[in-house]
Amino acid sequence: MDRNTLREKLSAYCEENHIFGVLRVTHRDQIVWQQSFGYADIRTKEPFDSTSMFSFYSLSKPFCAIGLLLLKDRGLVDLDTHPGVYVPEAAAFDSRVTIRHMLHHLSGLPDFGLIADFAVMHGGYDHRRVHEKLAALAAYPQLFAPGEAAQYANINILLCALIIEAVTGRPYADYMQDEVFAPLGMKTALVDHAGRQVEHRVSGHELTDGVPVPVSAAYDWMLGAGDIIGTVDDVYCLNRAIKHRLLLSPATWAEALTPSPLNQMGMGCTVTAWHGKHRITHNGGHKGFRTLHIQLPEEDFDIILLSNSGYGDARAALSEMVYEAFFGADGAYSDTVAMDIGYIPQV
């Protein structure tokens, strides 16, 4: 597929499926492709630009993992200990659970989002009462014995954010700003919360009767697990962090990028083969947004999609088109990384 054909195919797909957002491809630190689709806000027809701030949702998790692993390197957190050592409300969880299990999503911890009646029994989300809600969650049974199966769940990374707060004595947002975002060169990234005023905030959209309609971002149970907002440039700093092994020790990066055989998840990423190439990736998706980061380290090739369309399968479809344009068609359509299940209604 030549580049003109790529532009035509991307545009046609996004127009047909009402996909808005920004797609960036880099090779050896050079932007080799960037294309935007639709609007930052359909009401005003505002276009995207370099300042457009997207909700990352689960693409926040790699950054939270880096923040926690930084404390591990400083000797302040032991990955092989129970989270209750740092967060008292977690002490009632299965005594076999470790922080390492949580980072790999092997903990088996019950999750707020996986318990149908949790909000009914204990009330809706309130970030000021997250410790109280955590104590209530601990009364529910384990999903499975720690380390014996895998379940991707926000509770694992939410607990990591609470550990960061407990160990540092600082709000998670402040710690991330000073210790992760600024050192990595993330000039505009913020930890978001309901009611926060953010310049250049992109409006999320959902489909109603086939028409994109603006919606507010979701914040329930997103602490650490899905609460970062930022630009394409901010996401690209994750590529640089992994590529140059920034902030963390080489040994810790090696741990983080080693996947569990149970789910192919490292710590804050999935590590899989994609068309026969080594791939490090994470995606995000919930109300109003879909996000994706793919890094092919051996090719020094990077794909970022930040979409303010909270529907469809554009993350997989667009990345496959990019792959074919730059590496050629090989007849293989790779498996979609299984994250954000439950937030993927098909267009």
Spatial separation of the C-alpha atoms in residues 167 and 151, rounded to whole Å: 26
Pairing of strands 301-307, 277-286: unpaired
Going through 128-256 in order, the beta strands assigned E by DSSP cover: 190-191, 204-208, 211-215, 228-230
DSSP, res 324:
H
Q: Would 216 be classed as within a structural domain?
A: yes
Instruction: Give the closest residue to 68 by CA, choosing from 43, 87, 51.
Output: 87
Q: Would 259 be classed as within a structural domain?
A: yes
227-244 pLDDT, tens digit per residue, is 999 999 999 999 999 999
Q: Residue 129: what pLDDT?
A: 81
What is the side-by-side strand order in the sheet with 277-286? Answer: 30-37, 21-27, 301-307, 289-296, 277-286, 270-274
Q: Residue 342: what pLDDT?
A: 36
Q: Would 342 be classed as within a structural domain?
A: no
Q: For the chain, list residues with pLDDT below 50.
A: 339-347
Kindly report the CATH number assigned to the domain that includes residue 320.
Answer: 3.40.710.10
Query: What's the pTM value of the predicted model, to 2 decimals?
Result: 0.94
Q: Would 95 be classed as within a structural domain?
A: yes
Spatial separation of the C-alpha atoms in residues 27 and 31, rounded to whole Å: 7
263-303 pLDDT, tens digit per residue, is 999 999 999 999 999 999 999 999 999 999 999 999 999 99
Spatial separation of the C-alpha atoms in residues 52 and 107, rounded to whole Å: 36
Please say whether the beta carbons of 54 and 231 come within 8 A.
yes
Q: Would 347 be classed as within a structural domain?
A: no
Domain enclosing residue 50, as ranges: 3-327
Q: Would 27 be classed as within a structural domain?
A: yes
Q: Residue 4: what pLDDT?
A: 81
Spatial separation of the C-alpha atoms in residues 239 and 77, rounded to whole Å: 25
Spatial separation of the C-alpha atoms in residues 243 and 222, rounded to whole Å: 27
Instruction: Give the closest residue to 268 by CA, choosing from 41, 8, 64.
Output: 64
Q: Would 338 be classed as within a structural domain?
A: no
Instruction: Give the closest residue to 334 by CA, choosing from 347, 346, 322.
Output: 322
Spatial separation of the C-alpha atoms in residues 318 and 251, rounded to whole Å: 34
Q: Residue 307: what pLDDT?
A: 98
Amino acid type, 250 = P
Strand partners, 211: 208
Q: Would 169 be classed as within a structural domain?
A: yes
Nearest 5 degrees, angle CA 209-CA 212-CA 217? 120
Please say whether the beta carbons of 282 and 61 come within 8 A.
yes
Pairing of strands 30-37, 21-27: antiparallel
Q: How far is CA 51 from CA 63, 148, 202, 283, in A?
A: 20, 44, 10, 21
Spatial separation of the C-alpha atoms in residues 18 and 35, rounded to whole Å: 15
State the residue for tokens 């384990």. Answer: 142
Quick check: helix, strand or coil at residue 172? helix
Q: How far is CA 329 from the centre of its chain?
A: 28
- Number of domains observed in the structure of the chain: 1
